[in-house]
Amino acid sequence: MLLSIREAFALFDEDQISKRRDTCSLSHFTRTRPQYVKLANNMPHNMCLCTYHSKYIEAVTTLCKKVQNIPNYDNSFVNHFLCKESSIACWYGNCEKCSGKFVSKMEEFVLNTPSTSTLKWSAWEKDVSTKRVEKKEKSGNMDELINYVNNLWPQFLEHSFNKREQALTFNEFDRPRALSTALVGEGLLQIDFAENYVCEAQDEVQNAHWNQRQLTLFKRGFYYNNALQAKVYVSDNLSHTKDTIVTYLWKLLSSLPSSLKILKISSDGPSSQFKNKFIAALIPYLEIKFGIKIFRNYFATSHGKGCVDGIGATVKTVVRKHVIARNIIK
Ligand SMILES: [Zn+2]
Ligand SMILES: [Zn+2]
């Protein structure tokens, strides 16, 4: 699970209420979690959080533990500091009523909180010397932590608003349209790279273990005419740049039905891969070549989640099972 249990509960609660169904307590929700749903802190490797969210969550969680009467942290935490009927102006920091509300409300909460010793929290940051993104420990008093969150606040709000709107458009508008049988001719394509597949063998000598080949997995989920078609393109070319993306796109578009007239392509937004002038310049050529109108949509950084995540993981699991059973290479 990529959410905290509180965030998952808040979504469940919201969904139940919107459907006028009974809800339950957080403790009941936690107790009845199916065993196959692993908590985020039990996952061996979670690379799915973006830097905006991870920095914010780390710092705000520390705040929530230390400050009395503050609302518990979940994905609706920001709403306590925005107007009740929030608009884009609130999220973009242009609303006169709620701009600066975070600091003023926090000052109220802190009034009732006994002074604490040094607080510690962590943040993923780029190290200037190693040029790697590393987890750094931060410390400071309550005022410094509030100031730290307040500095993250404008960028985090903008990022969250974009993420929510994009997810809403994808789930409530683009996907139902593409799946509708009444709108044949309109499709939705989600594309992404999976983490490279490492070609491990079941019985390998030690030298081979430290020098394994890798494969690129390029995933696509195609929503069209009441069906989702999933596919993974496998290549020994390990480049994930614009050059290879053009080849994958070409191959992919060649495989789509001839009845398709309008195609929306959604992807994550790294500029080294999908979101750059080279790919944008290619689109008109692809439109002419394949006779379709193409629209490009980009998810907020590190939020290109959807069916394509499941596709990559499923393919890797199936292949690994066969490798372990010695069914693959004779
Ligand atoms: Zn994020
Ligand atoms: Zn406002």
Question: Which residues contact residue 177 at a Cβ distance below 8 angstroms, ignoring those fewer than 6 apart?
Answer: 183, 186, 188
Q: Is residue 169 assigned to a domain?
A: no
Q: Are residues 59 and 121 in the same domain?
A: yes
Q: Are residues 80 and 200 in the same domain?
A: no
Q: Which residue has the tokens 């496998």?
A: 234
Question: Which residues contact residue 286 at a Cβ distance below 8 angstroms, ignoring those fewer than 6 apart?
Answer: 249, 250, 253, 292, 294
Q: Which residue has the tokens 């394949």?
A: 290
Ligand closest to the CA atom of residue 100: 2
Q: Are residues 240 and 310 in the same domain?
A: yes
- Kindly tell me if the per-residue pLDDT of 45 is higher than 50: no
Q: Are residues 229 and 200 in the same domain?
A: yes
What's the CA gap between 40 and 182, in Å, rounded?
Answer: 40
Ion ligand 2: residues, Cβ under 5 Å: 83, 90, 95, 97-98
Q: How far, in Å, from the CA of 181 to the mean position of ligand 2?
A: 40
pLDDT tens-digit map of 62-72: 888 888 778 87
Q: How far, in Å, from the CA of 105 to the mean position of ligand 2?
A: 14
Number of structural domains (the chain) is 3
Using CA atoms of 165, 171, 172, 178 in order, give the dihedral in degrees to the nearest 10: 130
Ligand closest to the CA atom of residue 97: 2
Q: Are residues 71 and 185 in the same domain?
A: no
What's the CA gap between 81 and 90, in Å, rounded?
Answer: 9
Q: Which residue has the higher pLDDT, 330 or 152?
A: 152
Q: Are residues 320 and 184 in the same domain?
A: yes
pLDDT tens-digit map of 273-296: 788 888 889 999 999 999 999 998
Average pLDDT over residues 142-153: 90
Q: Are residues 37 and 11 in the same domain?
A: yes
Question: Which residues contact residue 62 at a Cβ distance below 8 angstroms, ignoring those fewer than 6 apart?
Answer: 119, 120, 121, 145
Least confident of 135-149, 207-221, 233-247: 207-221
Q: Is residue 141 assigned to a domain?
A: yes
Ligand closest to the CA atom of residue 48: 1
pLDDT of residue 13: 85
Q: Are residues 191 and 280 in the same domain?
A: yes
Q: How far, in Å, from the CA of 62 to the mean position of ligand 1?
A: 18
Q: Are residues 215 and 146 in the same domain?
A: no
pLDDT of residue 46: 46
Q: Hey, what are 296's tokens?
A: 């490009």
Q: How far, in Å, from the CA of 32 to the mean position of ligand 1?
A: 28
Average pLDDT over residues 232-241: 89
Residue 302 burial (CB count, 10 A): 19
Ligand closest to the CA atom of residue 88: 2
Which domain, by its residues, includes 55?
Answer: 47-163
- Kindly tell me if the per-residue pLDDT of 95 is higher than 90: yes
Q: Are residues 316 and 185 in the same domain?
A: yes
- Kindly tell me if the per-residue pLDDT of 201 is higher than 90: no
Q: Is residue 90 assigned to a domain?
A: yes
Q: Is residue 168 assigned to a domain?
A: no
Average pLDDT over residues 204-220: 74
Q: Is residue 198 assigned to a domain?
A: yes
pLDDT of residue 248: 92
Ligand closest to the CA atom of residue 84: 2
Q: How far, in Å, from the CA of 47 to the mean position of ligand 2?
A: 33
Residue type, 153: W
Q: Which residue has the higher pLDDT, 138 or 11?
A: 138
What pTM was computed for the model?
0.69
pLDDT tens-digit map of 165-198: 888 888 888 888 888 888 889 999 998 888 888 8
